[in-house]
Amino acid sequence: SIKYALISERREDRIYGLAENLGSAEARIKGVTLGGEPLELSIPHADHAKALETLLARLANYNPQAIGHRVVHGGNLTKAELLTPEIVSRIEAATPLAPLHNPAHLIGIEATMRLFPELPQVAVFDTAFHQTMPEHAYRYALPQNLYTEHHVRRYGFHGTSHAYVTERASELAGAKNQGGWLSAHLGNGSSTCAVWNGQSLDTSMGMTPLEGVVMGTRSGDVDPSLHLFLASNLGWSIQKIDSMLNKESGLLGLSGLSNDMRTLVEASGNGHEGATLAIEVFCYRLAKSLSALSCGLPRLDGLVFTGGIGENSAYVREKTLAYLPHFGLQFSKEKNNALARGTEGRIDNGTGPQIWVVPTDEEGRIAKETRQVVEQLA
């Protein structure tokens, strides 16, 4: 799929949408026009490149000034960068670390550079926000040469989202980018992050987006010797094990039903044991991760939930917070239940650390960082 947004200079107006089911007869673009009208466009069998060309042709009428690309893995790049041949090479070099994502980003970059050769284009990296992690947080306890020669280390992801929601929550709390915050980005991909004075100090994802908490179809943390066990006893290849951990595990694997939290909450209410277990494991492992990350903070001022599950599931928020009484995280059931479908608000009862629900705005953050890079060129 391809997510897109065209955002005005002051981030007040936007056109946005999603190209989905690419490569199939059902390929389509769904979105919202500048006037707020729904848009649906059938593009049968279109691949990423064709979908991008269709999208960009429609958006060209609005005279875009710059293009920002979300890039999942930027290796050790520490900030958004103007796309030059050197930066494109750095993205290509990081492809072994994000084989599912970076090749698609490169297709998008090539297409936009071909269609808009005169526009400045900027790469905004998921990993860049986490480059402020101290070495004791990002190093694995492995032989040194794996790090020095092969760059085996923890990188972290969802940086654009964690940066946006912790900045927003701290601003709402009255001290923008000040103090200690825990962030839980919960969707089909999920991760947690510890942020101090606007800088990432630790995060749950590692060298790849498979490490960390339970996700929609990803396992999160497992014993590394599981690979050896499955290869030796079941004859599984490395590729089959990797596919299982990324595409057949998580909520889907535990429940045997679905990777969609809404489906699982409904099924659990109807007595589905697999769904009930999947939700419990998800919330427990999430609370465990937040507890662990808190070690990196001098103090805890607040917790912020975001992402599709974090923003919309009061049930998941409640179950997770129930595992964290020792942090003094006291919440109002009434306030918690009132927040869903993109609403922003505070759900704590006024004692202890603040608890916020903040809808993420990765596109807005990408637009902001893109503008900052372009302004530096002037």
On whether the CB atoms of residues 20 and 35 are closer than 8 A, the answer is no
Structure tokens at 130: 């986490």
Nearest to 73 by CA among 160, 6, 150, 139: 160
Nearest to 79 by CA among 363, 365, 360, 373: 373
Residue 58 banded pLDDT, cuts 50, 70, 90? confident
Residue 237 banded pLDDT, cuts 50, 70, 90? very high
242 is catalytic: no
Angle in degrees, CA 260, 257, 31, rounded to 5: 30
- Which tens digits make up the pLDDT trace of 123-140? 999 999 999 999 999 999
Higher pLDDT, 289 or 114: 289
Residue 304 CA to residue 215 CA, distance in Å, equals 18
Compute, in degrees rounded to 10, the torsion defined by CA atoms 207, 213, 219, 220.
20
Give Cα separations from 337 to 46, 313, 331, 334 (angstroms). Answer: 41, 9, 11, 5
pLDDT of residue 341: 85
Higher pLDDT, 254 or 8: 254
SS3 102: helix
Letter for the amino acid at 155? Answer: Y
pLDDT of residue 316: 98
pLDDT of residue 294: 98
**pTM to 2 decimal places:** 0.93
- Which tens digits make up the pLDDT trace of 325-374? 999 999 999 999 999 888 999 999 998 999 999 999 999 999 999 999 99
Cα 68 from chain centroid (whole Å): 17
Letter for the amino acid at 318? Answer: E
Residue 276 CA to residue 249 CA, distance in Å, equals 16
Alpha helices in the chain (DSSP H): 48-59, 85-93, 102-115, 135-138, 144-148, 159-172, 226-234, 238-247, 250-255, 261-269, 273-293, 307-312, 314-322, 333-338, 362-377
Give Cα separations from 72 to 65, 105, 117, 124, 275 (angstroms). Answer: 23, 8, 23, 8, 30
3-state secondary structure string across 165-213: HHHHHHHHCCCCCCCEEEEEECCCCCEEEEEECCEEEEECCCCCCCCCC
Angle in degrees, CA 326, 138, 301, rounded to 5: 30
Residue 316 CA to residue 261 CA, distance in Å, equals 9
Q: Which of 322-326's residues contact partners 24+ apart within 8 Å by CB, and which partners?
A: 322/283, 323/283, 323/284, 323/287, 323/288, 324/287, 324/290, 324/291
Domains defined along the chain, listed by start: 1-62 (no CATH), 174-362 (3.30.420.40)
Catalytic option among 13, 47, 126, 221: 126
On whether the CB atoms of residues 303 and 184 are closer than 8 A, the answer is yes
